[in-house]
Structure formats: structure tokens, C-alpha cells
Amino acid sequence: MSAMHDATEGGVLGGIAELALGVGVGVRVDKAALPLSEEAACICRAFDLDPLITLSEGTLILAVRPHRVAAVQQALADEGIAAFDVGELRPREEGLMLVDVDGERPFTPPREDPYWRAYAWAVEQKLT
């Protein structure tokens, strides 16, 4: 199966969940494999945001057949685009799983993107 989805609202985990639920599969995501720029990490710390579930504009999530991952990554790299293998699609009954240093646990898509609350606060404080 192949699919694409953006990770704008709800961040990377929200986008991955939407993709998986939209095509009727489960997913296993390796948290350590998810890239996070120093700039994004700094802003998320400053506003107490979880970078995995907040606005990730410019991020595209690709579901690629396992035997094509390396070729897709190389084709993107040839165009100067970084691509990361962060997990795998699984049978629907396995659900949405996040793997981190503490093991594997289910995750749910975010109900709202915390970015907007932080943005509204920043506007109210005249920080923009």
C-alpha cells in the first residue's frame, strides 16, 4: 500500500494517525526516528508544546512499500529533501502504537492542535 498525507494540524503523530485510520490500518511509530530541528524543539520548549502533536507545516508523510523505502529516500535526497523511515503500517487490529525508551504504547490522535492555544496566548501578550 502507498499513501501520502500532510502533517499540518495535529503534527506528525496526528498526520500518521489520520493516514492510518483513513486507509484502515494500524501503525507502529519509532519516536526516536522522528526528526526534530533544534529551532522547533526550542519553540516547543518555550511554549510547552509537544512537538509530535503540534503544527508541522511543510511535513509530508509517505507510506511506502517496504522494498521501495531506500529508493524513495534516495530519490528525495537527490532533490535535497530529507526523508526518514519512522515506522511501519500494521494490521488494523494492532492499532496506533508509539515506541519509545519506555517500550511500546498506544497513542490516540490529538483532539486539538496545541499550537493554536499558544499562538492565541502570544497574540494576547503582544509577542507577535
The CATH number given to whatever domain includes residue 117 is 3.90.650.10
* Cα 15 to Cα 9, 42, 46, 64, 128, distances in angstroms: 8, 22, 23, 15, 27
pTM of the model: 0.87
Q: Decide if 17 contacts 109 (C-beta within 8 A).
A: yes
> What is the reported pLDDT for 105?
97
| CB contact at 8 A, 22 and 69 | no
pLDDT at 128: 67
Low-confidence ranges of the chain (pLDDT < 50): none
Would you call 28 exposed, middle or buried from its count of C-beta atoms within 10 A (0-12, 13-18, 19+)? middle
How many separate helices (H) and strands (E) can be counted in the chain? 4, 6
| Number of domains present in the structure of the chain | 1
Residue 69's pLDDT is what? 95
